[in-house]
Structure 1
Amino acid sequence: MTFEYIELGDTDAARGASATAGMENANGTVAVPLNYNKPWLRSGTAFRADVPAVLRGRVTDLDSGQPMAGITVYAEREDGPQPRTTTGSDGHYTLRLPYGSHRMVATAADYAPVTGDASLTVQQPQGTLDLVLDRNAVAGKVTDYLGRAVADAEITTNGVAERMLRTGTDGTYRIAALPPGELTVTVQADGCHETGIRTEAVECEEQLDFQLGQRKDGGGYTCTTSTGTALPVTTKLALTGDEEAAEVQLPFSFPFYGTTQNQATISTNGVLTFDYWAAGWANRPLPDKGAPDGGIYAFWDDLELDQDSSVWTGTVGEGAAQKFVVEWRNSGFFAGSERITVQAVLHKDGTIVYHYRDLEGEEDALGDYASIGIEAPDNTIGFGWSYGRPVLENNLAIIFRH
């Protein structure tokens, strides 16, 4: 709006000494004053007073239709501050904005952000934009094949959003503030469980539960995980350095993938094999057609036995309860400063147990580059528990049974 003064007299009164000039809204709450009892108006002058641009609106919940209080509403800008406000108890907001086009955004915890466009001009300085927030989320529970909660399972998503999280101690998870559309959820627990993958159309609050099956390899082996304690060992092997191995005689005939094994080769790289071939430094996913063929891969990685490291063996128990223990103690890595201690325990009935302790580090020592599992002597079948995943923890025990 323009105030133009064309012809004023020469007196103070004519120049506004006792006049009020300006504009005011209908209820008197907003005004733009130009003059109040001051003789400073002059002929041939003009004043432009822009009416304040104001955007008003209401934010509601899509599912309930109820107003939402305390919601942040702001004008999205690439540069400079973003004008913002919050909704009142009735869900309404008021925001002063410069003239022009604005992309408005409303955000709230557990809701997908919502946007809307508004244009404010001198001719239309006041606008209205209502926004509706949608509580798009996917939640559920992860259980094993017996219906028990699976804690600390890794959950990743792709599609309308890429997220990564882990289940709680009760096996539950929740992925909030999702845009609408298709979401693929992948659940990966320890290597004893099958991986779960499901795709869901996200429209509101979706329930997506997973029951992970028990893995079984082609030879009939399954596994479970638990916590455990180390078994005693009594014999220190003359095994040191890098890429070295030693032959040992087993104290009993060990059943393994339909064969019977009586001796083994122990490598510095965390592997016990039955084909007289020492496992080298270049580990691969299991099973693998390359040598060695058939083995116990407690922690196959490029390990090195320095002056602080050693390999021990021992026999525990008697009769049917007899066990043969191999321990790689305080093993280092060829590249890096981390340390591990791992035991491979062969039970007379064919059960195999790995036990991990004194894991010093956050990558190598947790299995970030290691292969862990078992492989049949014909190398065509095997149970790869993990490959290149930092999933180990102190006192973890992995039990393979046939």
Structure 2
Amino acid sequence: MKIETPRWVLPLLQPARFKGAYGGRASGKSHAFAENLVEAMVMDADLRAVCIREVQKSLKFSVKQLIEDKIKTLGVGHMFDIQRDEIKRIGGEGVCIFQGMQDHTAESIKSLEGFRIAWVEEAQSLSDKSLRLLRPTMRSPGAELWFTWNPDQPDDAVDAFLRKNPPAGAIVLPVNYTDNPFFPADELREEIDHDRRDPETFAHVWLGEYNVKSEAQVFSGRYQVDEFTPGPNWDGPYFGADWGFAVDPTVLVKCWITPDGRVAIEKESGKVGLDIDKTGDLWAKEIPEARSQTIRSDSARPETISYLQRHGWPRVTGVDKWKGSVEDGVDWLRAKGLLIHPQCERAAREARLYRYKTNKGGDVIAQIEDANNHVMDAVRYALSPLIQAKGRVGRMEVRY
């Protein structure tokens, strides 16, 4: 078995109770740990491993597919039995399972006592309670706990444990896209160049620096990223579109209003530099159910709306705007709160980075930056019939 190993991974090949890698996007952290896990299971046919996230409601958002891909790439598929919920080692008792820590109690976590490797992916989301449950459970001789994460807050449990005061012997490494010899530059160059215009965004997304919350964040404390399945009593769906330009994405969203009144963003389709004649094809591939529904969009591009109406998307329509419509819409979304499905990565990113402007003294002012807002604009357009009614009444009340 031949594994092409980035230089930064070499310290992790040594035995250690705690191993971790943290940093920004496209660093190759997950790929390296997946390869290490496959190698460990090849070398020990009886090794039992568990891959953990804080919330694991479906395998779709686990690292199972990545591990399956590595098994295939490394040419060891004949040594594994890949099942729906787990991966078994042929010729031994070894197994790799996938679990969420929120499903465990102090009693149920004991089921992992015989496991030798626990890999926590997206470890920035791991709660302090989950970390305290997991650590003493991994007690087999030579057991290791692996952590990979994109830092979010300095007081997140994994950062407090592995970066502020790491245990003796822990191997914890920073790694970014600049350390990845397999970095897909062609695919991500436009995104990187776009984010460089905002130093804070670039530092957090690509260099793994903390996303320090501030009063300038529009949706601070008002959004949640979690899996969900729309129910029969949900209002919707609503579809909205925002048109892109040279460096901005064209975005289509599908969203709902939950029974408790939140705005739930279920699906998104977005691409930078999307030609008008390719837009319908992308939408049909990623959100095909939108074709038969009303899609409310930015009315500033009538030529785009007309083109799509004449090419298979007859229910695309522009929305009415008014002075202060952006602020009205954002206030309405803040009051409702957002529930974002994990598959909507762009929506989750914008919810974190969408900001109010600040003056030179650092004071937050009542104006919204025109950046990191393409999904949010599409959501505003999708729900414009609801937002307009509230906005117009609100202005009339102030005016009169």
TM-score, structure 2 normalization: 0.23
Higher-Rg structure is 1
Greater share of strand? 1
Greater share of helix? 2
TM-score, structure 1 normalization: 0.22
Higher relative contact order (CA 8 A, sep 6+): 2
